[in-house]
């Protein structure tokens, strides 16, 4: 499978799909590429069908609609695209199911290994160093930016996201999530020492 062609399709679709960026610096395509890289890392540790994992990771955020869940819209686009490039129907079905499910991180449903990997890769993105960068940049473009405002935003992000480790579906995903939360905790501690 030539993933570079799929990546070009994703780049085009994410720029066209009309999803409003919640911040001007946040790129849906860049997010997708980070999820793709994490999915490959998790697959190397856990196994699973690499094509299904990679294609689901690459296509997971291509759809958007103000009135329907983006997983549903994305799955429709992905299924049509994958069929047009000759992917086997059984793989298309499994990839579509993963894209439909990927946002439901609290699901109690039985999930395939491939789905768990894509969900964890998606969850891991923007948690950790990238999350700190996001909070700092979001503060900088807001009203009256300051180091203390960024500090409080980062601390709040940590408080809200630390318990979300329960959403991780795989042991390597949980391990990485815990490392990232520890890094944020250490960063907050050091920032407090320097700011106050």
> What average pLDDT does this structure show over 14-32?
84
Calpha distance 79→91 (Å, rounded): 10
Count of domains in the chain? 2
Here the tokens at position 19 are 């999803």
CATH number, domain of 56, equals 1.10.472.50
Q: Is residue 85 part of a domain?
A: yes
Q: Which domain holds residue 81?
A: 3-107
The pLDDT value recorded for residue 158 is 97
Nearest to 60 by CA among 84, 82, 83: 82
**Is there a single domain that holds both residue 82 and residue 172?**
no
pLDDT tens-digit readout, 32-80: 999 999 999 999 999 999 999 999 999 999 988 888 888 899 999 999 9
**Is there a single domain that holds both residue 87 and residue 149?**
no
Does position 21 have pLDDT exceeding 90, yes or no? no
Q: Is residue 118 part of a domain?
A: no
Does position 10 have pLDDT exceeding 90, yes or no? yes
Q: Is residue 119 part of a domain?
A: no
> SS3 helix, strand, coil % of the chain, rounded to 5?
70, 0, 30
Q: Is residue 115 part of a domain?
A: no
CA 12 → CA 32, 39, 194, distances in Å? 12, 21, 43
**Is there a single domain that holds both residue 98 and residue 138?**
no
**Is there a single domain that holds both residue 98 and residue 165?**
no
**Is there a single domain that holds both residue 13 and residue 101?**
yes
Q: Would you say the C-alpha torsion 96, 97, 98, 101 has a positive or negative sign?
A: positive
> What average pLDDT does this structure show over 162-172?
96
Q: Quote the radius of gyration of the chain (alpha carbons, Å).
A: 18
């Amino acid at each position: 499978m030539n993933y570079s062609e799929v990546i070009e399709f994703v780049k085009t679709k994410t720029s066209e799909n009309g999803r409003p960026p919640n911040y001007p610096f946040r790129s849906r395509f860049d997010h997708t590429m980070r999820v793709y890289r994490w999915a490959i890392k998790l697959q190397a540790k856990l196994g699973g069908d690499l094509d299904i994992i990679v294609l689901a990771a690459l296509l997971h955020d291509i759809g958007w609609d103000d009135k329907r869940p983006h997983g549903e819209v994305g799955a429709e686009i992905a299924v049509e695209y994958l069929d047009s490039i000759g992917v086997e129907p059984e793989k298309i079905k499994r990839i579509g199911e993963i894209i439909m499910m990927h946002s439901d991180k609290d699901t109690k449903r039985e999930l395939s290994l491939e789905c768990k990997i894509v969900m964890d890769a998606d969850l891991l993105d923007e948690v950790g160093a990238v999350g700190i960068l996001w909070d700092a940049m979001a503060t900088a473009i807001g009203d009256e930016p300051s180091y203390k405002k960024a500090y409080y935003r980062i601390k709040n992000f940590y408080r809200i996201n630390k318990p979300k480790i329960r959403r991780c579906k795989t042991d390597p995903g949980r391990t990485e999530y815990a490392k990232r939360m520890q890094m944020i905790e250490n960063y907050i501690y050091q920032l407090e020492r320097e700011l106050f």
